[in-house]
Amino acid sequence: MEPCRLECDINDILDKLLNKGLALNADLIISVAGIPLLGVNLRAAIAGMETMLEYGMMEAWDKNTREWYTKEFAGRMAAPLVKGEEAIIRTFGSIWSSQGIISTWKPGFLYLTNNRLFLWRKEPPEMLFEVSLNKIERLMVKKENHFEKGREELYLQFDCGEVARIHVSNVTELEQTIKMTVGKELENRIVIPSEPTPLPEGEEIIREENLWYQFPAQGILGETSRPGRLCLTNKRLFWVSRVGNQKMFEVPLDKVTGANVKAHVLAPGIKAEDKVLNVAYDGGRALFCGKVEKLCEMESAIQEIFLKPLVPSIVMKT
Amino acid sequence: MSEAELARETEVTQGRYVYCIASCADELSLDNMGIEHAEVYTVSHKDIAAVVHACQSQPYESRDENKVKEWILSHNNVIDKASERFGTVLPFSFDAIVKGDDAAVKDWLSKGYEKLRQELERLRDRAEYTVQIFCDPNRLTDKIVGENQGLRELKEKIEKMPKRAGYLLQRKFELQVKDAYNVMRGKLAEEFASKMKEHVEEVKVEEKASHVPESYKDKKLIAAFSCLVHKEKVKRLGDALGEINSQEGHAVRFTGPWAPFSFVKPGEI
């Protein structure tokens, strides 16, 4: 068969002349940056969207979209500052919120102004926390555990007695600035209500570890692992849940009959190879899991109290 | 305005619209066949020349599509005429304009001389041809179904069912045929390429949906290629394509010769 050029129409030629062939180097050419309009129309007809964008065809659309976006969100994004109010610190921060069974950090932008301290979330817009500076009575920086690491957090107590817990990246700066802005002496001792009641006189903590407690079945709930803190004092062994700081397990030391770390414990949610701390006491046993080093530390701390290692006499339920 | 400033001004406002680079040592006038009947001429450096016309240093642009099409046809016409006269040329894209006058063009040619010379040498006596291979869609489906037992069984099942009940299965069948078609298309394209291979210097599969003329609209485009072919091998390529064309349900569209638009390297000079 013979090649033919007769039946070729303009489209074949356009395809080659617009999309192929040599192009000039940028410093020689005049038409590239200026975007030849023709190129736009024709190229668009042939090449579609990608080329349109490349040749700036959607610029107007892009501009409109940006304008719309700015307009649409302008009202929402601006922090609600009152007239005459001036932001002194504006930083990313979060506030501890504990309501019912939900306890969480709520993030937003923390503003310290000449008469308010507030945490503003842009999207969806919400005032997460707001207080007038003259209501702040006490201020305290405290080191807290945060995902196994210590970090500083700021506690504020207001004249109504309420306590707020705030975290920002530079807590000290925030504390100092609040002190300066408030312009009055602030006490720096706050009793944190959510903390467990302090230990009675004569009792002291020997060892404390973050461990999971195998919580016994209750009602329709089966056994569950819950996060919290296992405390060994010179009087008792108790475990406090991370949620709500409730004491859910407590045994006086004289009732404890033994503790050891072992694997192959049959319990729901625990794998056969996982090591658990097994505490035996008069009337039952309790299982704790977590990092092996922590389990072992706790084990030896308990055993030390009895001066000699105890072999727990536990008959495992199967 | 001082003389120097005036000179700079004219230099900036002058441009040279470039059609192509050809093997030509002389400075010739090629008639008023350029865009908007501009006088086309050659600007040479040693044995190569740029085919240009003098213009303002601003791109050709218009909202009138017909006008632009006319420009493009003129551009292509100049390339064809230059190819006839000088042999294979290096074609430029539409609207490539060198800033400055003939001296600027000469300067540019001298800087790119080695590269351009090499390209002209490489493409000498060769031209670009476009090959599009079409297939009758019904025949293709039959072929796909015939080769695939699963699809065959599905089809039989559908045919036995009442029309409405078979609807979902019919959709499933169509989707599977489509998948199978894409696989087959790849295979066929390879098969065709291997048939053409010995007759072409280079072949490029055109991945982008290329233009399909009206007369082929009822057929399915299976593969499109741009081929760089030596002038002595065009007949043999044509014979190979003729064979494909004569297969039942197949149609081949074979166009050319074109200047080597798809094969000039590098993209920028």
Tell me, yes or no, whether A128 and A159 share the same domain. Answer: yes
Find chain B residues with C-beta within 8 A of A11's C-beta: 211, 213
Residue A193 lies in a domain: no
Whether A7 sits inside 8 A of B255 (CB atoms) is yes
**Burial status of residue B264 (CB atoms within 10 A of its CB: 0-12, 13-18, 19 or more):** buried
Residue A222 lies in a domain: yes
Average pLDDT over every residue of B120-148: 89
Higher pLDDT, A89 or B233: B233
Tell me, yes or no, whether A172 and A249 share the same domain. Answer: no
Higher pLDDT, B269 or B50: B50
Tell me, yes or no, whether A136 and A175 share the same domain. Answer: yes
Residue A313 lies in a domain: no
Task: State how many domains chain A has.
Answer: 3
Of B58, B76, B211, the CB nearest to A17: B76
Measured between CA atoms, how close is B160 to chain A, in angstroms? 44
The confidence score (pLDDT) of residue A78 equals: 66
Average pLDDT over every residue of B188-193: 88
The confidence score (pLDDT) of residue B266 equals: 58
Instruction: Report how far residue B261's alpha carbon sits from residue B264's, in angstroms, rounded to the nearest whole number.
Output: 6
Q: Which of residues 128-147 of B touch A (CB under 8 A)?
A: 129-130
What contacts A179, CB < 8 A, 6 or more positions away?
A139, A186
- Cis (ω within 30 of 0) for the bond into A80? no
Find chain B residues with C-beta within 8 A of A46's C-beta: 211
Higher pLDDT, A10 or B147: B147
- Cis (ω within 30 of 0) for the bond into B213? no
Query: Tokens at residue A78, please?
Result: 């601006």
What contacts A12, CB < 8 A, 6 or more positions away?
B130, B211, B255
Whether A5 sits inside 8 A of B257 (CB atoms) is yes
Q: pLDDT band at residue B148, thresholds of 50, 70 and 90? A: confident
CA nearest B242 in A: which residue?
A1
Is the ipTM reported for this complex over the cut 0.85? no
Positions of chain A with pLDDT under 50? 26-52, 308-318
Find chain B residues with C-beta within 8 A of A24's C-beta: 18, 92, 96-98, 268-269
Residue where a domain terminates, one of A61, A76, A100: A61
Tell me, yes or no, whether A174 and A246 share the same domain. Answer: no
Q: Which of A137, A256, A10 is nearest to B214 (CA)?
A: A10
Find chain A residues with C-beta within 8 A of B69's C-beta: 10, 14, 42
Q: Identify the CATH number of the domain in which residue A148 sits.
A: 2.30.29.30
The confidence score (pLDDT) of residue B10 equals: 52
The confidence score (pLDDT) of residue A32 equals: 36
Instruction: Report how far residue B236's alpha carbon sits from residue B227's, in angstroms, rounded to the nearest whole number.
Output: 13
Tell me, yes or no, whether A43 and A100 share the same domain. Answer: no
Tell me, yes or no, whether A107 and A178 share the same domain. Answer: yes
Of A9, A15, A23, the CB nearest to B210: A15
Q: Which of residues 218-237 of B touch A (CB under 8 A)?
A: 234
Average pLDDT over every residue of B207-212: 69
Residue A317 lies in a domain: no
* Average pLDDT value over all residues in chain B: 85
Residue A5 lies in a domain: no
Whether residue B101 contacts residue B11, with contact meaning beta carbons closer than 8 Å, is answered with: yes
Higher pLDDT, B55 or B1: B55
Q: Which of A66, A56, A58 is nearest to A32 (CA)?
A: A56
Whether residue B41 contacts residue B30, with contact meaning beta carbons closer than 8 Å, is answered with: yes
Whether A3 sits inside 8 A of B264 (CB atoms) is no
Residue A80 lies in a domain: no
Residues B112-129: tens digit of each pLDDT: 898 889 999 999 999 999
Q: Which of residues 49-88 of B touch A (CB under 8 A)?
A: 57-63, 65, 68-69, 71-73, 75-76
What contacts A10, CB < 8 A, 6 or more positions away?
B69, B72, B73
Flag the least confident range among A28-32, B1-5, B241-245. A28-32
Find chain B residues with C-beta within 8 A of A21's C-beta: 91-94, 259, 261, 264
Flag the least confident range among A227-241, B102-116, B209-223. B209-223
Residue where a domain terminates, one of A149, A182, A215: A182
Identify the domain containing residue A161 by its residue range: 87-182
Find chain A residues with C-beta within 8 A of B98's C-beta: 24, 28-29
Residue A282 lies in a domain: yes
Residue A71 lies in a domain: no
Whether residue A8 contacts residue B216, with contact meaning beta carbons closer than 8 Å, is answered with: no
